[in-house]
Structure formats: structure tokens, C-alpha cells
Amino acid sequence: MNPKEDVSLKELVRKSALLNAVKHDGKAQAGPVVGKILGEKPEYRGNVKELSAFINEVVNEVNSLSFAEQKRIVEEKWPETLVKEKSEEKHLPPLPNVADYRQIVTRFSPNPDCVLHLGSARAIVLDHEYARMYKGKFVLRFEDTDPKIKRPVTEFYDQIRKDLAWLECKPDEEYIQSDRISIYYDHAERLLKEDNAYVCTCSPEHFRQTVLEEKPCSCRTLSAEENLSRWKQMLEGGYGEGEAVLRVKTDLNHPNPAVRDWPAARVIDTGKFPHPRVGSKYKVWPLYNLACGVDDHLMGITHIIRGKEHLTNEVRQQYMYQHLGWKYPEAIHYGRLKITGATLSKSKIVQGMREGLYKSWDDPRLATFAALRRRGIQRDAIKKMIIDVGPKTSDVILSWENLYAYNRKILDPSTDRYFFVQDPIELTVRKVPKSFDVKLNLHPDYPERGFRSYRIGPHESDGSVFLWVSKKDVDASKVGTMLRLMELFNVKIEKANVYSAEGLFVSESYEEARKDRAQLIHWVPVGDDFPCAVVMPDATVIEGVAEGACRKLRADEIVQFERFGFVRIDQVNSKLIAYLAQK
């Protein structure tokens, strides 16, 4: 049978593809779907080629939907399949060789040269979560030893602490590398004394050339005494920037030239580039692998969980660990996490701030934790998403929609609902026969949470009522049609322009509106309204009116403006300022 003509097959494939997509972050795989279909429809075994082509088509179609949309369809059509998913709370895979350590210690080690953003979430959440899972210790270490290029900024130390506190990933211990410079000096000296390091005064070009030829430069063969005296000179300011570098000895024929005799410390002109915490106290600054490698050992880090871009650093540090007679911690390297549509480049964020493109670190266009917090993205949504992705080595691409799906799960049942009318115009409804007492539940599924009520009564003089409605709900195209003012009554639109509209009361019955397929629209009573501006994720502002009950909202509360989206209340003054979390 031709698969395209088999109606029951099409439905089966679509279901299977959608379930697979929902299970795999929105990207269905054709392979498992083919397997599943062949299991259920063995008659296609002789026709796998055509079947696969057909399945590929359906899978592509399903993958073109957003994750939220896929989930919505599954929830609507096959809710029973989700019951199982709910009980299967995802857990992180176990860490290796846990039994070899008395206590598991992990660390998060940011450079405070920028605020944290979603790109750091994986390192923070995994390291913290694993420490908690094994009742271990989670260390925060500020890696601030580059006062020149990746210059730390004083305010970011606190901002990072604040972000971790918000994520509920509070560290058990905190270290700042710029406080530990003498420790790195001590280890550099030991490496020099034991002839496992040297002070190289070659030009970078010359060194690169010799090392490419797998040959030692002339500094490498100097005696330990000679090197120690060069080091002393380095510390005392005898060398300028770029004139001397401490190098750790490795195999000169290591297949990766970038590993060979890697640089461990260099001179920085802190007169010109003072460190924000220790000023120009030090002229010699440890480079990443020296400081990080020494600290991981001294701080008792048992498991390093970090991005796979650090794989080469592990290879470099292994040499130093061997020289010092230390055992290298367990290292887990996860793949890249890309979030489409989010600017996760520190340099772009910093540049945008400098040039005034972004107004603040919590500008809604940024994916900084500060911005996500301001918009009402829940920490648990971020954490759950990261834990579901786990520490796998393959690259992962997520979208805002993925994060929103997690966030919606938290916000949908927990937030109260209100009416908000964007770009309002005044609708006059004539010939309203009586007063209506409207009781609106704060949440349709939880009536016990309470309600807000409005009395919509006709004006004495002419029997009209006045309501704010949205310009996009009531325009000239609606003239002559019936609309349902939600939970109120039905109205037939007689006139509409960009400033106002007029209509005639038709009836109260919801049934009638349903039969007529009348559009349901929101409204806010004129006179019991609250001006409101919603800041959108692209930083544009939508003006409107919220219903009067919103006057009692407090800053930081999150509510759902019906048919509009979830918003976090930012300010409540003479006007409500809200930030959109998501639609």
C-alpha cells in the first residue's frame, strides 16, 4: 500500500513524531519513528524505502513547529502519554569514581569581567546540583587574574554573588584569585627549583617557531638557579610587558603545539592597567592554567564539570600535576549549549552597554540573569531545563521557546489572571437593559483563590456603558458583527474608528455567542481602569489599561494578562509598569 494513501498511518506517524519531538527538546528523529511504525504496521516491512521517505516528510513538518506548539498538540490529543512523563522526573547521571573521595567538591569559577548570563547556567546548575546530590561542597572562585584584557570590574563580584543567590545555588566557600597571588608564586618557584619550568625571554615569534620545530628555546636549557634569578628579576620589575614569560615544561613533541611548554605567568604593567582590587601591587600575573590548576588541587576539587572547550587545558595542566606529584581531579566536559536568539557573547554584551545600545544589565533584550529575573523567568525553569539537558558531551541547541515551556509550567497554575487591554479605544455600548455584576475568578482552575468583581451599569441618561477594548479587537472590519465581551454580554458593533467604537447590546447568553461563533474579547471598565505599560522582550513598550483590581498588585508579583502573556510587575505607582516574561 502507498503510505501516502493510508489515512490511519498518517495519524500514527504524526503522533509518533510529535511524541518523539516532545521527548527530545522539540527535534524529532526519524529513525525511532520508523522502528515504531514497523512494529505496529508490519505490512510495511516490504516497503521500508517509501515508508521512510514519508516519515521523513512528517518528521520535518513536526520539527518546523515550535516546542511549545508540539507540546500543546500532544497535551490536547494524547494527554495520557504525558502522565508517564510527569512521573519520570529527570535525574543527573552519576559522577564517576565517587567512592574514591571522602567528599565531592565542585566549583564554579567565573571571571568577574561581565555579569552572568544564561550561557553560565549550565556550569552553575550542574556543579551546584552535583554537590548537593552527593552532600558535597560547591565552591565559588573568582578568576580575576587578568587586569589587562579580561579586566575584572568591581561591581560584578557582587552581581555574580547575587545571581547565584537568586538561582539558589549558594556557594559553600568562596575564593578570589587576586587574593592568592603569593600562592601561585610559591608554586611557580617550586616548579622552577625542580627544573620543571623556566623563564623564557624569547620573542613570541621566535618561541612559536622553535616550538613548532619541536626544539627547545635557549632559555629552556638554563640551570634552575639561573631561572630562579630570572624569576626574581621578573617579580621585581626587571622585565617589561612581553619581555619574560614563565613556562611549564611539557613534551616538546606533544601532537598539539599549543600544549608545548605552555605559558603560566606573565608581566603586566599594572601602573597602566591597575587591578580593581589589588591595584598595582603585583607585576607578575598567573595565567589561567597555573592559577586554575593550583587552585583545583588546593581547594580539594574532586570533580571538574565544565565545557569541552577546556579539554586542551586539562592536557596542559596534567603536566603541571605530574611535576607537582598531584592527582588530577575527575573532569567532565559537556558540549556547547547554544540558545538561539540570545546574545551570549560577553564581549557583545559589554560593547552594547558601552555604546548605550542597552540601558542596563537587566535590559530585556539581554539573556543576563538580571534581565531574566526582571522579566519574570523563574529560576526553577532555568534549573529544570539545564538538569534535563544534563552534562552530555554533544552540543545542544535550545531556543527561548524551550525555556518558555518550562517557565509556563510553573507560572500557568501559580499566577492570577487579569484583563489588560492594549492600545485601548473606548467602546460605547447602547441600550444596555440592566446592571451586570461580573465576578471574575483569579484563576479558572482554582476558584478558591478568589475573584474580582465589577458592576457594569448603564448610564442613567441614555442607557449606555463605556468600556476600554483593544484597537486590534474592534476595528472597522468588525462593524455589523457580534462580539462577546468576556464574562459580560454580547454586543453588535455599529461603528469603529481608531479612537472609539459604538455598539448595540444584543444579549447576555454565552450560548448565543458560541452559536454565532462570536469572537471573545477582553474589556476594562472606563473609570475603573489602571494605566499600564508593558515592556516587551525587544525593549519596545506597549501602552494600555489594566483592570482596576490591578491597583493592589505589588512589585515583583507575576500575573497573567489574559490573551496577552505572563508579566512581572515592576512598578506600581500612578501607572503600572510590567515586563513581559513570555506570551
What SS3 state is found at 533? strand
Of residues 208 and 434, the one with the C-beta less far from Zn ion: 208
Nearest residue to 470 via CA among 542, 569, 551, 560: 542
Q: Please give the size of the binding site for Zn ion, defined by CB under 5 A.
A: 4
C-beta separation of 558 from 415 below 8 A: yes
Is 219 among the residues that bind Zn ion (CB under 5 A)?
yes
- Give dist(CA 125, CA 457) in Å, integer: 54
Cell numbers for 210: 622553535
Nearest residue to 21 via CA among 83, 80, 85: 85
Q: How far is the CB of 260 from Zn ion (least distance, A)?
A: 12
Q: How far is the CB of 195 from Zn ion (least distance, A)?
A: 15
Of residues 261 and 416, the one with the C-beta less far from Zn ion: 261
Cell numbers for 168: 539558589
Looking at residues 275 to 294 of the shown chain, list those that interact with Zn ion (rule: CB under 5 A): none
Q: How far is the CB of 149 from Zn ion (least distance, A)?
A: 22
Cell numbers for 140: 565559588
C-beta separation of 367 from 342 below 8 A: yes
Q: How many CB atoms lie within 10 A of CB 427?
A: 28
Roughly how many angstroms between the first and final C-alpha of the chain, as a whole number? 44
Say if residue 528 is exposed, middle or buried (CB neighbours under 10 Å; 0-12, 13-18, 19+). middle
Stretch that binds Zn ion, among 26-34, 218-226, 288-296, 504-512 (CB under 5 A): 218-226
Of residues 120 and 227, the one with the C-beta less far from Zn ion: 227
Q: How far is the CB of 261 from Zn ion (least distance, A)?
A: 9
Q: How far is the CB of 541 from Zn ion (least distance, A)?
A: 59
Supply the angle between the helices 7-23 and 67-77 in degrees, to the nearest 10.
120
Q: How far is the CB of 307 from Zn ion (least distance, A)?
A: 31
Q: How far is the CB of 328 from Zn ion (least distance, A)?
A: 27
C-beta separation of 370 from 115 below 8 A: yes
Of residues 115 and 219, the one with the C-beta less far from Zn ion: 219
Of residues 247 and 384, the one with the C-beta less far from Zn ion: 247
Of residues 251 and 462, the one with the C-beta less far from Zn ion: 251
Q: How far is the CB of 198 from Zn ion (least distance, A)?
A: 7
For Zn ion, what does the binding mask look like between residues 178 and 217, x meaning CB under 5 A? Answer: ----------------------x-x--------------x
Of residues 19 and 217, the one with the C-beta less far from Zn ion: 217
Of residues 14 and 247, the one with the C-beta less far from Zn ion: 247
Return the amino acid letter for 128: H
Of residues 191 and 482, the one with the C-beta less far from Zn ion: 191
Looking at residues 59 to 98 of the shown chain, list those that interact with Zn ion (rule: CB under 5 A): none
Q: How far is the CB of 368 from Zn ion (least distance, A)?
A: 42
Stretch that binds Zn ion, among 219-227, 285-293, 410-418, 506-514 (CB under 5 A): 219-227
Cell numbers for 241: 610587558
Q: How far is the CB of 252 from Zn ion (least distance, A)?
A: 12
Of residues 219 and 246, the one with the C-beta less far from Zn ion: 219
Within 415-517, where are the H helices? 510-515
Looking at residues 408 to 467 of the shown chain, list those that interact with Zn ion (rule: CB under 5 A): none
C-beta separation of 201 from 230 below 8 A: yes
Cell numbers for 58: 512528517
Rounded to 5 degrees, φ, ψ at 75 are -60, -35
- Give dist(CA 560, CA 580) in Å, integer: 10
Supply the angle between the helices 288-298 and 181-193 in degrees, to the nearest 10.
100
Can you say how many angstroms the Cα of residue 147 is from the centroid of all Cα atoms in its chain? Answer: 28
Binding residues (CB under 5 A) for Zn ion: these are 200, 202, 217, 219
